[in-house]
Structure 1
């Protein structure tokens, strides 16, 4: 070994805390870089990596009994074969440690030592977990610094959430909020520049494409939004932004749990709604207040821990305000296409959250179309005893749309039990799961039972949910009402629903051309068009399909020509009956090889 190698071998590794501090000082103004710092990956030793079960046991053994110093824990991890990829097991192991009163101070001291002197992600993660359980305010700055390493951000934020929500939110935003338009606010929050926080918050873009539910919650926590509203009661820009953040937190397509996790949600709702009459009646403000009302009526906002009658009072207040002539005019404003679409949504939806349901709240289906400016989805929200089922028990995706649940009669109850998927994670069931229930008719009752949540990769059983029984006559009446209610729908969506209904009633219109019905709805990129998709397999109509495992998908766009939806849907169905749709639709799925084999052009960019 050379002299240089000897010196390197004798030099102890630098503590991660010291590394993070040095990196932080290298950035202008001591503001961390977007996405934080990367952690040098260490090569795992050993030829036989532990299984998940073995690693879980080894982590518990390394922590039991708690060592007196960080070096001992490091040696235990190495001896037992615990590697950095097992660090996610440490939090639950520390949480389950039995600590007697006389051991608490020692455990806290160990956590502080691990945070400040630990040289590996494993040991520092153990320190973070100990301080998350036993930490005190003096530990907050250290957790904030080591949390700048991306590998440690999650555990550090979880620990800080228990000690100091504001610091947790600032750290989360510093590492996770990477968009350029958020950086001035993040900089003001990180440096503690209180004078800059309010103006930077007000200047944030209103678009949810910049601010999703998690970002909205962390911004509200980091900026101490209730205090800002209290100290600036006449600032309508701040009031409008506060309402927008609440809307973002309750977005079904993100994580509805963000609104439920926001401890100050009730205070901010109170501030925004009780002062809403101060807001100028703009299209943006009208859309924001209507979105809040929809959430308080049938969305995640219902699930907050409201004092008796308070939610209903706020909803009534919004109803009275939005019924005033000056707000009604706001719903007619707008000359651009997106503004016209939004104004049309306000006119269609404006009174929906304020109507008292005709049927008891025991079972209700509320179809809600969200703000089109944010490309909010359409949901068929199922409410049982007045509470929306999907965000209450699933929380990883929105309720399915009415095309899926209502148009094809999936919620109808028959004697034969039917399992129905009520919701799917936004990233697909294979990634983060789905929610199912079995529906059946039992004499004069309808039963929802055998609730099932799929959770790929999870080793923990899903929570068991109780069965619900409903009066069959009332249930059938509510399903029929929901299936026939088109008041939420815009023209192109109505055209698509009528085309789909016609094809369900007359499947031969497509089957004669060797095609099967696919997805039919309004266009995502252009909501003012109806889109019909279908799958083609040669020989399907004759009963001798060729290459059924490799179907070709087609897409037909039906623009709105201004005539009635009924007229346009009838014309589309006539064309499907008279002309082979493959002659005027375009290939949109399948494979290039299959398209070329069957003589169809493969579109550019697909």
Structure 2
């Protein structure tokens, strides 16, 4: 009776809660359904034609408000569905309406919410009940909310309600309904079955690669297993400690929209527990890199913004510094380089980055610009960080993506201040500006000062002031940041020098009717340089992109870049670079074979 096609054949019970319970009990071993169950078939209800969301919300408010003080909750519950249906309200707007409503009698509103969630037969009724319990729910409401969260359409809202009452249950519901990684199923099933040993084993088997565990999944795993309690109860268990440190480091990653560390309520507690016990970890490259990643975020990332006690964050950084400079841990950096390219790249990163989070900039000037390369286990993130009075600007003002690369912001001269001023995009959402926005600032010189103002794209509710910096000190900070290449590995330096040469001498590729020449590193192999060109003989005509890959051959960056620029000047790269953009049709029109495979 647990097959999906059989579940939908169940007769519809009197309430959606009873319907969800029946499906849940039919599930073997109590396993949470991936993606949730479908709501039973019901007549489709649409918002009144021509009504925008503001009108729909206002209609919902007028329909619900009188019912919140109705003494007879049974009658009020019956009226909710009828009134919302008659008003032609979009059911998705109910939650935002209830969020904003004044609740004159919270006990009465809570009672109505409970009746609606337990006896409601429509999305209108149950949605209103969940919305009320999001504000007023108590522990006794957890089982009902968890069960209703198994129904698609209610999952996200039930999780939000549970987050305010029972975070581990909310996290488990989130994992069960939203994650599709098979590696997580043993952990989820064990937690669902309340099998502590199975959950521990499942936690230790979770692979900490970004394809399986992103920032959001890491937070929900930590919440569902009560990580802070595990670290307190099993302080000597190295495997649990190491996995906890990896989860914490993964939560600081801005990949896949935003870092979750600020949403993790136990972040400060877990940071303190991990660092206090870090000496129990066996010195290894993985453990060193994980602790270094935590230090980088404590130094200049989103973790700076957590609710620290005075001096607590600085003390944790000092503790990490003391540990990682002990002979046993320092020996990790002196080890022979691994044969595996990814591990070799990670070791070299650790060597370059080892002192960065423990080296404070001057306190006199309020702006500090740093380029941070994240642990290569979280690939393709090289970000420019801006600390204003010690606080990281991009996570605090935007948060939906990291600061742009130094090539975009520093090597281009974008942050140089002129009297005319220029708007600069400091960061972009991971899903692109067109989806979730970007953070912009206008940089201009005003006499003896440089002004950062005209902010655009800040997060909702964030209002940034106009920052004014001493112009001479600002220019010095920009120059320092532009010329500090200590963060870069050889391939990245080679790419920078090639791009610089192409920018300074556009005729190098212009003679071959190519444009937009630039270089970077391969996202899947950071030791490989890639040079890109754009070929479009006629404006608005067919076009192709070419790329030339240059694997690491041990040549010093300066010599490698010079050799590349010489070949580009002497030989048309369309003859040896590969087509990497455009279309088969465009290639045929321009006389090039389209690559197969």
Question: Structure 1, residues 306-359: CA drift from partner, whole Å, max 9, x if none?
Answer: 111111111111112112222223233532111111111111111111112146
List aligned pairs for 1:122-271, cutoff 5 A: 122-271=124-273
| Cα deviation, residue 522, structure 1 | 0.5
- CA, structure 1 residues 259+508, in 2 after alignment: closer, same or farther (shift >3 Å)? same
* 2:366 corresponding residue in structure 1: 362
Question: What secondary structure sits across from 2:339 in the alignment?
Answer: coil
Question: Structure 1, residues 40-65: CA drift from partner, whole Å, max 9, x if none?
Answer: 46453578363222211221122121
Q: Is the 8 A contact 1:209 1:374 kept in 2?
A: no
* Aligned with 2:278 (options 276, 279, 288): 276
- CA, structure 1 residues 577+376, in 2 after alignment: closer, same or farther (shift >3 Å)? closer
| Cα deviation, residue 198, structure 1 | 2.5
List aligned pairs for 1:432-443, cutoff 5 A: 432-443=436-447
The question of 1:408 aligning with 2:417 is answered no
* 2:576 corresponding residue in structure 1: 584
Q: Is the 8 A contact 2:502 2:518 kept in 1?
A: no
What CA distance in whole angstroms lies between the structure 2 residues aligned with 1:56 and 1:474?
51
Q: How many aligned positions are there?
A: 578
| Cα deviation, residue 394, structure 1 | 0.6
* 2:25 corresponding residue in structure 1: 25
- CA, structure 1 residues 438+235, in 2 after alignment: closer, same or farther (shift >3 Å)? same
Question: Structure 1, residues 476-511: CA drift from partner, whole Å, max 9, x if none?
Answer: 111111111111111111110110011111111122
The question of 1:373 aligning with 2:377 is answered yes
* 1:555 corresponding residue in structure 2: 547
Q: Is the 8 A contact 1:453 1:462 kept in 2?
A: no
* 2:557 corresponding residue in structure 1: 565
List aligned pairs for 1:511-550, cutoff 5 A: 511-538=510-537, 546-548=538-540, 550=542
Question: What secondary structure sits across from 2:85 in the alignment?
Answer: helix
Q: Is the 8 A contact 2:445 2:451 kept in 1?
A: yes
List aligned pairs for 1:52-91, cutoff 5 A: 52-66=53-67, 68=73, 69-82=76-89, 86-91=90-95
- CA, structure 1 residues 597+519, in 2 after alignment: closer, same or farther (shift >3 Å)? same
Q: Is the 8 A contact 2:130 2:161 kept in 1?
A: yes
What CA distance in whole angstroms lies between the structure 2 residues aligned with 1:88 and 1:465?
32
- CA, structure 1 residues 18+49, in 2 after alignment: closer, same or farther (shift >3 Å)? farther
* 1:458 corresponding residue in structure 2: none
Q: Which runs of 5+ in 2 are unaligned?
A: 1-10
Question: What secondary structure sits across from 2:533 in the alignment?
Answer: strand
What CA distance in whole angstroms lies between the structure 1 residues aligned with 2:300 and 2:458?
25
Q: Is the 8 A contact 2:116 2:126 kept in 1?
A: yes
Q: What TM-score does the superposition give when structure 2 sets the normalisation length? A: 0.93
Q: Is the 8 A contact 2:499 2:517 kept in 1?
A: no
What CA distance in whole angstroms lies between the structure 2 residues aligned with 1:121 and 1:602?
52
* 1:472 corresponding residue in structure 2: 471
| Cα deviation, residue 95, structure 1 | 2.2
Q: Is the 8 A contact 2:249 2:293 kept in 1?
A: yes
RMSD in angstroms over aligned alpha carbons? 1.9
Q: Which runs of 5+ in 1 are unaligned?
A: 1-10, 456-460, 539-545
List aligned pairs for 1:1-16, cutoff 5 A: 14-16=14-16
The runs of at least 4 aligned residues of structure 1 exceeding 6 Å deviation read: none
| Cα deviation, residue 361, structure 1 | 5.6
What CA distance in whole angstroms lies between the structure 2 residues aligned with 1:396 and 1:550?
35
The question of 1:444 aligning with 2:436 is answered no
Question: What secondary structure sits across from 2:549 in the alignment?
Answer: strand
Question: What secondary structure sits across from 1:335 in the alignment?
Answer: coil
Bigger mean CA deviation after superposition, 38-47 or 380-389: 38-47
- CA, structure 1 residues 41+398, in 2 after alignment: closer, same or farther (shift >3 Å)? farther
Q: What TM-score does the superposition give when structure 1 sets the normalisation length? A: 0.92
| Cα deviation, residue 467, structure 1 | 0.7
Bigger mean CA deviation after superposition, 387-396 or 325-334: 325-334
Question: What secondary structure sits across from 1:563 in the alignment?
Answer: coil
| Cα deviation, residue 603, structure 1 | 2.0
Bigger mean CA deviation after superposition, 114-123 or 129-138: 114-123
What CA distance in whole angstroms lies between the structure 1 residues aligned with 2:127 and 2:393?
36
* 1:574 corresponding residue in structure 2: 566
